[in-house]
Structure 1
């Protein structure tokens, strides 16, 4: 099976959006890996419950970033492969696995053209990635392809309320140029339905963060101003619930975990 370079389109020309993603996450690879919220206990417990890993499970973590989910699955006994577009993230993931003493393999690759055979995995998961994709439905189709019939597919991402979607996207683009759009929960469910998946469960949580932890110092002013206007309005326009504290602005991401099963027939 041939695999396109991570930054190439099917025609072989450079993909500008992928280049933006790689540039953004090369810059943020080490800080992203160290942010406590990405390994926060409650969200990780919900993630593992959704994934249901075990010793007999072959798992693929798509857009694995610094390997936080991959390593947690490996600690639970799964045989884990992690894939990410950004080499710097793969380096962080490998270092994390070595540090924790868990066995997981990592490689660079494009989520739109997964470099794996059909029906190779029991579990295919991706966390906090769909909002970086121009065509998340293409990634979901690839996740389905490499998942064996009867296997589990888990997608975890921000899902703003429909009335807040445009403002949420605006706020995210102020801090992250690789952001495309965050789907609403109903849009997520529609993707699975259109792909012929069987819905197992959905759970939700909010992931709270400080503005200063999520945005480089030189980029904070625009997002801080956006949040201060929202705070002054008294309205939750972005579904990020910003508030001013003694330590600075705090906001939260509205996260959904959607679990599907690939039908056996």
Structure 2
């Protein structure tokens, strides 16, 4: 019952946020996307799966560099936004599915690349998701995970902020935890790198949560201790901060 409840929470959150999420410039930021595509090491002959694909931003960016890209997401409204994006850019080598990342509806060894971006922190069992990604990836292929990775010292503070902003958030794992998870899954590291993604708080949350979020960020800024781990600062337009993000790519033997 817990898994069903959490999945319903994800669908509710991202049904409400599907269109705003798809339109936020931060999700298609050029340097971050270039780093992501480089880690994927795409080739024109490859079949790619994007897990928890959201509004298809990464999937559509990969499609010109691959033979076929498939996106899967649990939220129908997100898949609808992905189809809108696909039509807008005129891509034809994309397919979309609605489904759960922990039980992917694909045969073993179906894809050459399996990606997921900004999604693992919504999963109750991220290790199970990674195992499913490995199952559907062919030998010689590559699994790529891109997600927020707070430091161990700011892990609790970061998660507290994200849960207030997004009730479907579970936990953003520090980089060493992600690396350990990959090792436990029998994966060999190919790429490990980090970047910071600048954001404005007021664009990333429902209005009903803004007072509490603003108070949390203001207290963190005033303390000078950066307990949230995002290096927040105030500007005339509002509060700005950096998401700490890592890219991990693993090779399938």
- By the TM > 0.5 criterion, same fold? yes
Aligned length: 252
- CA 1:112 to 1:242, structure 2 compared with 1: closer, same or farther past 3 Å? same
Q: After superposition, give the CA deviation of every residue in 1:42-100 in whole Å (9 maximum; x if it has no partner).
A: 00000000011121010000000000000001022341000000000000001100100
Mapping of residues 40-189 of structure 1, within 5 Å? 40-103=29-92, 104-189=94-179
Contact 1:53 / 1:78 at 8 angstroms: preserved in 2? no
Contact 1:164 / 1:238 at 8 angstroms: preserved in 2? yes
Contact 2:47 / 2:66 at 8 angstroms: preserved in 1? no
Report the secondary structure of 1:48's partner residue. Answer: helix
Coordinate RMSD, CA, aligned: 1.1
Runs of 4+ in 1 over 6 A off after TM superposition: none
How many Å apart are 1:159 and its aligned residue? 0.3
How many Å apart are 1:216 and its aligned residue? 1.4
Q: After superposition, give the CA deviation of every residue in 1:218-258 in whole Å (9 maximum; x if it has no partner).
A: 21111110000000001111111111001100111100000
Gaps of 5+ in 1: 1-8
Name the stretch that deviates more: 179-188 or 232-241: 232-241
TM-score (norm 1): 0.93
How many Å apart are 1:173 and its aligned residue? 0.6
Contact 2:75 / 2:98 at 8 angstroms: preserved in 1? yes
Question: C-alpha distance in 2, partners of 1:83/1:161?
Answer: 29
How many Å apart are 1:14 and its aligned residue? 7.2
Counterpart for residue 237 of structure 1: 227
Report the secondary structure of 1:148's partner residue. Answer: strand
How many Å apart are 1:107 and its aligned residue? 1.0
Name the stretch that deviates more: 120-129 or 48-57: 48-57
Counterpart for residue 248 of structure 1: 238
Counterpart for residue 5 of structure 1: none
